[in-house]
Amino acid sequence: MIMINGVIKDYIDVADRGFQYGDGLFETIEVRDGRPVFVDFHLERLKSGCQRLHIPFPNVEILSYELGELCRSKISANAVLKIIVTRGSGGRGYRQPDDIKPTRVLSLHPHPDYPQTYQQQGIVARFCTTRLGLNPTLAGIKHLNRLEQVLARAEWHDPAIQEGLMLDGHGYVIEGTMSNLFYVKNNNVYTASLNNSGVAGIMRNIIITLAAAQDIPVIEHQFTQQELLSADEIFVCNSIIGIWPVKQIAMLNFAAGLITKNLQTQLNKLIDREVGHEQ
């Protein structure tokens, strides 16, 4: 089911700047038992992305109403809700129209239903050769210019590998093609700083908050492949997968350790509270 500017349809104006230039943003939201999970965080990030790209943020009441409509349309199932906001239609050329009428696209997709083993035993990751470009202006934003991720994801076809890790132009490890990356060493948690590239994920922020609440310091810094591979625990995260331990990279094995499992437990409690399953 797809809703575009409040109307049920599945096509957009070819002059939409989302299509012409990737001039927009998106959010990918888990829907559990008909409820969008962490929806306030997603709308907040969407708003902040709109501010950084100077796209007028759609009316939040309308957006919330439409979100609800879509989620209720499929209440029995878990699903994935994607929101795209673009700068709307405009003439040929990079110059934006004087009167910007943003396009909002809400679409509901089947949940990927990954095997439980990914959460429990972990996944296999690889290093991609496609690098993330260096651009502080766009770093952190979940914008629609995603060719780097598309090219990185096209590097492997082996279904035994679930995620590819991407380095930036300096050779620092930043994130997965569809996830943020953390590692644990000597009881400290580390993740990449996102000043030059990468997406500042909702789940990344939640994990930093959950760790802080338990007095586990999370250090954002620049790190190399070698540093990552010397870790005690490694995990990736996003809004759909939650936390997946990484059990193998580059033929090296890692345990789904205590801190990873602790964070998974805290996260599951938080999600249960969100969807009203708390005891």
Catalytic site positions: 28, 142, 175
Indicate which single residue of 109, 185, 261, 269 sits in contact with a second copy (rule: CB under 8 A).
109
| Positions in 173-202 near a second copy (CB under 8 A) | 177-178, 197
Indicate which single residue of 5, 48, 64, 145 sits in contact with a second copy (rule: CB under 8 A).
145
Q: Which is nearer to a second copy, 151 or 255 (CB)?
A: 151
Tokens of 139: 């770093």
> To the nearest whole angstrom, how small is the minimum distance from the Cβ of residue 191 to a second copy?
21
Q: How many CA atoms lie within 13 A of 19 on its CB side?
A: 14
130 binds a second copy per the rule CB under 8 A? yes
Size of the site for a second copy (CB under 8 A): 59
Binding segment for a second copy among 66-74, 149-157, 186-194, 255-263 (CB under 8 A)?
149-157
Q: How far is residue 136's CA from residue 195's CA, in Å, rounded to a whole number?
A: 6
CA dihedral 225, 226, 227, 231 (to 10 degrees): 100
Q: How far is residue 185's CA from residue 190's CA, in Å, rounded to a whole number?
A: 8
Q: Beta strands 242-249 and 123-127: pairing type?
A: parallel
Binding segment for a second copy among 114-122, 151-159, 214-222, 241-249 (CB under 8 A)?
151-159
> To the nearest whole angstrom, how small is the minimum distance from the Cβ of residue 145 to a second copy?
4
Tokens of 5: 């500017």
216 binds a second copy per the rule CB under 8 A? no
17 binds a second copy per the rule CB under 8 A? yes
> To the nearest whole angstrom, how small is the minimum distance from the Cβ of residue 23 to a second copy?
5
161 binds a second copy per the rule CB under 8 A? no
Indicate which single residue of 1, 124, 138, 161 sits in contact with a second copy (rule: CB under 8 A).
138
- DSSP symbol at 114: -
93 binds a second copy per the rule CB under 8 A? yes
Indicate which single residue of 144, 203, 236, 246 sits in contact with a second copy (rule: CB under 8 A).
144
Mind giving me the DSSP string for 36-63?
Answer: ETTHHHHHHHHHHHHHHHT-PPPPHHHH
| Positions in 57-86 near a second copy (CB under 8 A) | 80, 82, 84
22 binds a second copy per the rule CB under 8 A? yes
Q: What are the Cα distances from residue 239, in Å, to 38, 60, 101, 166, 279?
A: 9, 21, 28, 19, 23
Q: How far is residue 150's CA from residue 189's CA, in Å, rounded to a whole number?
A: 28
Question: Tokens 């939040």 belong to which residue?
Answer: 60
For residue 200, give the nearest of 230, 234, 170, 174 by alpha carbon.
174
19 binds a second copy per the rule CB under 8 A? yes
Q: Which is nearer to a second copy, 28 or 205 (CB)?
A: 28
What is residue 68's three-state secondary structure? helix
Binding segment for a second copy among 40-48, 150-158, 187-195, 212-220 (CB under 8 A)?
150-158
Cα four-point dihedral sign 112, 115, 116, 122: negative
Residues at the contact surface with a second copy, assessed by CB under 8 A:
2, 4, 10-23, 26, 28, 53-54, 80, 82, 84, 87, 91-96, 105, 107, 109, 112, 130-138, 143-154, 169, 177-178, 197
